[in-house]
Structure 1
Amino acid sequence: MAPKNELLADTKKRKRINTESHKSPSKPKPTKFVPSKKPKPHSDDKEKKTIPLTGRERRINAKELADSRKKKRRRHFTLEQDLARLWEKMRRHEIAKEDRSKLVTEALTKMKGKIHEIAGSHITSRVLQTCVKHCSQAERDEVFEELRPHFLTLAYNAYAVHLVKKMLDNASKKQLAGFISTLRGHVAPLLRHMVGSVVVEHAYDLASAAQKQELILELYSTELQLFKDLVSAKETRLLDVMSKLGLQKGSVSRHMSSVIQPILEKGIVDHSILHRVLLEYFSIADKSSVTDIIQQLSSPLLVRVIGTKDGAKIGVLCLKYGSAKERKKIIKGLKGHVGKTAFHQYGCMVLVSIFSVVDDTKLITKVIIRELQSILKELVLDKNGRRPLLQLLHPNCSRYFSPDELASMNSSIPSLSLKDQSEASSQTETSKASIDDNDSKEDIEVKLPEVNEDKTSEDDTDLAESGKKDPFVRRQELLINSGLAESLLDICIENVGEFIRSNFSKEVIYEVATGGFGGILHPTLDDKINSLHKAIASLAGVPKSEDSQEEHVFENFFSSRTIRKLILDCPEFASVLWEEALKGKTELWAHGHSCKIISAFLESSDSKVQKLAKKELQPLIDNGILKNPKSKEQAAQ
């Protein structure tokens, strides 16, 4: 009998055999593709294997490849490279004039006959500008003649436009006139182009009055575009041109609208020629057309318009006739540009108009006044920057604003001006009332009410065009409630010596010291005003010294006149000055510029001021040191 362990092993073997016999036949495994082994490289092949390129070599290869492609694509590529090498030499500052002229002549010789072809390249256009700047007049004339037939094409090129401007800067009167004549018929298309408009504007700036008129006329109507000599240089205004030629108002308005609208839609509003055209358009356009343009301009776009004289007038008109919503857009559009606008010769008048017209004083305070407060000292010392402040202190004063500036603030648009409409309606009423003598009174009475329906009073006109708020209340909110006046007084007290000796800031310090027009700073800021009076008086009380580098305020040309004016117009200041600076010292200051200050106490209309000084000044009058103002008046009579 077999042992137990062997029996168990046999049974396991049998089970394994049985299970294997019952299995399904196995599927043949797919044969793998084994590539044939490559033969080992020969020793010679190892030597032929390429060595990796360095970074410098890769850059050289890439440049050579790029140059080969440029040669196929650009006809004058080799010439451009030669000119670039010459340009690097000729544009150096330390180069001698003779060497530079030789290089310029060499470059122009190479470019001859191909200038108009290579002028549009960003490289050669710079070379040409340098050549035109430093070449002789004869060479410059040759370049001009070669470019003359191609000026219009070059005017549309982003790089060539700089060359065209340079050529115009160096052009003679005859050449400039020839260039302007080539623009005839193409002014409107060029103004619609972002690059071409720059050329027209540059030519307009350099042109004479007659040439400017020539450029503008073709924008008025097709007749003036086709026929050059219809109008003389005397007719500068559009209304005069229309009356001379008998042009229809409607047709001119439609033509100008077709010119202006595409320019505004593209946002090309920086140029003075467009601003001039817009002002003329406002004089003839109907109400809806003008309103549409004001809506388009009442945005951040207006910041780019107010940089010219006519553009500032447009800005004033947009504020004057814009709705509250449009005025709000204009003010918000000025955010971040208030300081720059205030220092600008023409832009400052837009801020002046905002202070005079807009009723939303909270918005003005938030956007404009807060920005002005941060640069208050610089504004007071600046010729233009002080004007918005002076408008709040003394509105529309002829001492601070020229007649032209006051006229621009009072300008109007006929189709929107209620005053003009009321005048027109009154004229219609008069004409209707004086119809044929055969008409009966009953017929006339029936016709009159139709005219009076649209008639508005002068008060309504002021409200519609200058805001509904009382001007004094508006000024009070902008000056007092905003804290601007208090900041202004603090600045004046801190810098009293510098301000009172300055030609521009002396007027601000005078207005602040007198309390402003209508006493707007009284009584809220009386304490600060008294402090300013004392600051001026303490400055005047400083002893006269020959060693001092600065002139005494009594002897300085500007400060002496300002103090004299304050004595005449502000009795409170006169009494403080007398007590702290002049009492017992009048004989010392009775000569030179300071003599006018002493005489002002006698000339004052306030009896208290005269009494203060009369006792001490009478001996000076008796001795002939001072002249009696009464004797002057008698001599004048």
Structure 2
Amino acid sequence: MAANDFHKRKRAAGSKPDPEKTHIKKPKSPASSNKSFEKSSKSEPAAKFNKFQKSGDNGEKSVPKTKKEARILAKELADARKKKRKQHFSLEQELASLWEKMRCRNISKEDRSKWITEAIKKMKGKIPEIAGSHVSSRVLQTCAKYCSEEERNAVFEELKPQFLTLARNTYAVHLITKMLDNATKKQLADFISTLRGHVASLLRHMVGSVVVEHAYSLGNAAQKQALLVELYSTELQLFKDLGTLKERRLVDIISKLQLQKASVSRHMTSVVQPILEKGIVDHSIIHRLLMEYVTIADQSSAAEVIQQLSGPLLVRMIHTKDGSRIGMLCVKHGNAKERKKLIKGLKDHVSKIAHDRFGNMLLVCIFSHVDDTKLVSKVVIRELKAVLKEIIMDKDGRRPLLQLLHPNCPRYLSPDDLASLDLSISSLCTKVETSSELTEQNKASDIVQADEDKSNSEELTANKHSSSSEMPLLGEGGKKDPVLRRRELLIDSGLAESLIDVCGEMAGELLVSRFGKEVLYEVATGGSDGILNDLDEKLNTLYEAVATLVAKPKSEGSEEEHLLENFHSSRTIRKLILDCPNFATVLWENALEGKCEMWAQGHSCKVVTAFLESSDSSIRELATEELQPLIDAGTLKVPDTKHSVEAD
């Protein structure tokens, strides 16, 4: 109590304690404590750094005077740490210096071979250990690319026991793929046999799936089948002899081996679902797996796959034949919500998809089945209009446009393409029949769908499925009238006008183009069922543009062929004369009248005689007066069959 009274009296008197005499420490503020912590943390690496500093002549540690010296000391410290952490650090440094020499392009083969041989000798016995290194894996890739066959075989044999481990390594995967590219048939077969029993687990791995896909793409039909079948069922995975069947389709394998369909479906679901959840959908082996899976999947499983793939994920799949077919099945069997999500996922990718060999068929399918034409016009048509000049000259890019102008025409779509458009999933092809007596409940009838793939002789087996009352039925296709859908996509969206303008602007290029001429022909004839006939004024402008080009005088000294003498353009103009009387009239009046004698020989004579072969009597009468004297004189020869119209 006395001490407390003493301190109270001192404070009351206004006196302050002397900081030199008092032994009571002031509490530190949080800011000051943080500063002290920062100083202590900064001092730790400085102490470690000083530990590795060079000592001077007098034994004292020398402090770096310049930034260059500081960098050198820092590098020495980093190398010392790496040397403790990495077992083959010194070897990697030696290999890196050799790699800088051997990877140069302006060196002789002898020098490169010498350095590669030296590098392989240094790595011998340690290749599997250093293959996963960021630096050493690059050295090994260069060696595998340029080394001799004997050296490559030695590297392959040393890597063989560790293939499965290296297949999951981020850096070693590039070495494995490089080795497979240069592997012999026996080595490739050995590698694929090494993968047996591990294909499913590797496909679930982001890095390992790349190795499986690479081996799948390099293998022959039997090897591809061996990789696939173990994904179908446990029996096919365990017993190697069962994987050598001649049957390729899953339904045939099930029938041949008398497997339980439900068991196979459960096993494939356990394989497929983790792959889809991780989004590993870029590989062709997975696309083939999904195509086989939907042929046997029940309604709920198939619907779940459609739901998972309907979106941006699908864009990464449609670069393969099976991936494109999966995309078309999503369009055909997806409901309105899923189709909307799928189309929105194509945004900013439409041009690339249109140019793709298989991806363009997805756009063809969308134009044929999706009823929401406003959404299709907003996403797909708008992007196509921006690149019309490119896609109408492209073999694949023109197909979506030709599908709108002339749907399902065998001239533009191969039998394989038409078969792909007819494919469907049998478990989802269920019709709902409503009875007049039962207005509250709908009964699903049993439907058997057998879709034949003409190119691969594939048939989806006919199976009866009773729809569950709890499971909503998916759409089987567009309900809108196909003619109305085409009109909304072509006319209402403004695509037709843009097409006619581009064709008029590029008429000369399109006529001599192998692929562009077909787009010009369909536009000029008004499309199938005369869908463009409402745009007569625009079409007349196109006819006049073509006639102006044909009317140019024939120049003998010019290297450029006249349109009437070019192989492609002369035949296209001839077809237009036979199938489009309006074009024939404009061409005769503006380009050919009074000049037929000049074009009575060569490819151009076929164009001139087309006026006499036209099915329109007015066109024949228009040209008969001028052409008959040429025929009588023997200058112009007319085919035996007159008035014949070329079949579509």
TM bucket normalised to smaller = 0.7 to 0.9
- TM-score if structure 1 supplies the norm length? 0.86
Which whole-Å CA distance do the structure 2 matches of 1:380 and 1:52 have between them?
A: 68
Aligned to 1:465: 476
Aligned to 2:505: 494
Is 1:337 aligned with 2:370?
Answer: no
Aligned to 2:516: 505
**1:625 alignment partner AA:** T
**1:244 alignment partner AA:** K
- Cα gap change, 1:238/1:628 in structure 2, threshold over 3 Å: closer, same or farther? same
Which whole-Å CA distance do the structure 1 matches of 2:575 and 2:14 have between them?
A: 123
Which whole-Å CA distance do the structure 2 matches of 1:427 and 1:347 have between them?
A: 29
Is 1:286 aligned with 2:274?
Answer: no
Task: Give the secondary-structure state (helix, strand or coil) at the position aligned to 2:428.
Answer: coil
Aligned to 1:527: 537
Is 1:536 aligned with 2:562?
Answer: no
- How far the C-alpha of 1:549 sits from its partner, in A, is 3.0
- How far the C-alpha of 1:70 sits from its partner, in A, is 0.6
Please, which of 392, 410, 420 is the counterpart of residue 408 of structure 1? 420
Aligned length: 572
Is 1:305 aligned with 2:317?
Answer: yes
- Cα gap change, 1:142/1:419 in structure 2, threshold over 3 Å: closer, same or farther? farther
Aligned to 1:40: none
Aligned to 2:628: 618
**1:209-248 CA deviation, whole Å, 9 max, x = no partner?**
1110010000000111111122545201011111100011
Task: Give the secondary-structure state (helix, strand or coil) at the position aligned to 2:409.
Answer: coil
Where structure 2 has 5 or more consecutive residues not aligned to the other structure, the ranges are 1-10, 24-57, 434-442, 450-463, 468-472
- TM-score if structure 2 supplies the norm length? 0.84
- How far the C-alpha of 1:307 sits from its partner, in A, is 1.2
- How far the C-alpha of 1:34 sits from its partner, in A, is 11
Aligned to 1:555: 565
Task: Give the secondary-structure state (helix, strand or coil) at the position aligned to 1:71.
Answer: helix
Contact 2:543 2:583 in 1 (8 A): yes
Which whole-Å CA distance do the structure 2 matches of 1:393 and 1:408 have between them?
A: 20
Aligned to 1:262: 274
Contact 2:388 2:502 in 1 (8 A): yes
Aligned to 1:574: 584
Structure of larger gyration radius: 1
Aligned to 2:5: none
Task: Give the secondary-structure state (helix, strand or coil) at the position aligned to 1:588.
Answer: helix
Which whole-Å CA distance do the structure 2 matches of 1:621 and 1:566 have between them?
A: 22
- Cα gap change, 1:25/1:87 in structure 2, threshold over 3 Å: closer, same or farther? closer
- How far the C-alpha of 1:57 sits from its partner, in A, is 1.2
Which whole-Å CA distance do the structure 2 matches of 1:346 and 1:393 have between them?
A: 20
- Cα gap change, 1:595/1:28 in structure 2, threshold over 3 Å: closer, same or farther? closer
Contact 1:602 1:629 in 2 (8 A): no
Please, which of 378, 386, 395 is the counterpart of residue 383 of structure 1? 395
**2:551 alignment partner AA:** G
- Cα gap change, 1:626/1:411 in structure 2, threshold over 3 Å: closer, same or farther? same
- Cα gap change, 1:545/1:53 in structure 2, threshold over 3 Å: closer, same or farther? same
Task: Give the secondary-structure state (helix, strand or coil) at the position aligned to 2:636.
Answer: coil
Correspondence 1:6-21 to 2 at 5 A: none
- Cα gap change, 1:225/1:516 in structure 2, threshold over 3 Å: closer, same or farther? same
- How far the C-alpha of 1:560 sits from its partner, in A, is 0.5
- How far the C-alpha of 1:425 sits from its partner, in A, is 4.0
Aligned to 1:32: 20
- Cα gap change, 1:103/1:49 in structure 2, threshold over 3 Å: closer, same or farther? closer
- Cα gap change, 1:25/1:399 in structure 2, threshold over 3 Å: closer, same or farther? closer
**2:340 alignment partner AA:** K
Is 1:370 aligned with 2:354?
Answer: no
Aligned to 1:483: 494
**1:430-449 CA deviation, whole Å, 9 max, x = no partner?**
xxxxxxxxxxxxxxxxxxxx
**1:150 alignment partner AA:** Q
Which whole-Å CA distance do the structure 2 matches of 1:26 and 1:505 have between them?
A: 102
Which whole-Å CA distance do the structure 1 matches of 2:413 and 2:254 have between them?
A: 33
Which whole-Å CA distance do the structure 1 matches of 2:121 and 2:510 have between them?
A: 60
Aligned to 1:323: 335
- Cα gap change, 1:80/1:427 in structure 2, threshold over 3 Å: closer, same or farther? closer
Correspondence 1:50-449 to 2 at 5 A: 53-418=65-430, 425=446
- How far the C-alpha of 1:558 sits from its partner, in A, is 0.6
Aligned to 1:595: 605
- How far the C-alpha of 1:24 sits from its partner, in A, is 9.5
Which whole-Å CA distance do the structure 2 matches of 1:24 and 1:383 have between them?
A: 100
- Cα gap change, 1:172/1:464 in structure 2, threshold over 3 Å: closer, same or farther? same
Which whole-Å CA distance do the structure 1 matches of 2:108 and 2:19 have between them?
A: 85
- Cα gap change, 1:48/1:92 in structure 2, threshold over 3 Å: closer, same or farther? closer
- How far the C-alpha of 1:165 sits from its partner, in A, is 0.1
- How far the C-alpha of 1:619 sits from its partner, in A, is 2.3
- Compare the two structures and name the one with the higher helix fraction: 1
Which whole-Å CA distance do the structure 1 matches of 2:17 and 2:496 have between them?
A: 100
Aligned to 1:585: 595
Task: Give the secondary-structure state (helix, strand or coil) at the position aligned to 1:330.
Answer: helix
**1:361 alignment partner AA:** T
**1:269-320 CA deviation, whole Å, 9 max, x = no partner?**
0000000010011111111100000000001100001111100000000000
Which whole-Å CA distance do the structure 1 matches of 2:16 and 2:641 have between them?
A: 141
Task: Give the secondary-structure state (helix, strand or coil) at the position aligned to 1:499.
Answer: helix
- How far the C-alpha of 1:323 sits from its partner, in A, is 0.5
- How far the C-alpha of 1:612 sits from its partner, in A, is 1.2
**1:577-614 CA deviation, whole Å, 9 max, x = no partner?**
11111111112111111111112112111111111112
- How far the C-alpha of 1:621 sits from its partner, in A, is 2.4
**1:372 alignment partner AA:** L
**1:457-514 CA deviation, whole Å, 9 max, x = no partner?**
xxxx9x9422111111111111111111111111111111111110111000001101
- How far the C-alpha of 1:157 sits from its partner, in A, is 0.1
Contact 2:228 2:289 in 1 (8 A): yes
- Cα gap change, 1:357/1:82 in structure 2, threshold over 3 Å: closer, same or farther? same
Contact 2:577 2:611 in 1 (8 A): yes
- Quote the sequence identity (%): 66
**1:415 alignment partner AA:** S
Contact 1:414 1:420 in 2 (8 A): no
- Cα gap change, 1:124/1:585 in structure 2, threshold over 3 Å: closer, same or farther? same
Contact 1:231 1:241 in 2 (8 A): no
- How far the C-alpha of 1:365 sits from its partner, in A, is 1.1
**1:329-387 CA deviation, whole Å, 9 max, x = no partner?**
01110111111111111111111111111111111111111111111100111111111
- Cα gap change, 1:55/1:546 in structure 2, threshold over 3 Å: closer, same or farther? same
- Cα gap change, 1:584/1:24 in structure 2, threshold over 3 Å: closer, same or farther? closer
**1:123 alignment partner AA:** V
**1:206 alignment partner AA:** L
Which range moves more in the overlay, 543-552 or 259-268? 543-552
**1:274 alignment partner AA:** I
Which whole-Å CA distance do the structure 1 matches of 2:287 and 2:22 have between them?
A: 83
- How far the C-alpha of 1:419 sits from its partner, in A, is 7.4
Which whole-Å CA distance do the structure 2 matches of 1:115 and 1:605 have between them?
A: 77
Which whole-Å CA distance do the structure 2 matches of 1:581 and 1:290 have between them?
A: 60
**1:545 alignment partner AA:** S
Which whole-Å CA distance do the structure 2 matches of 1:48 and 1:178 have between them?
A: 62
Contact 2:132 2:172 in 1 (8 A): yes
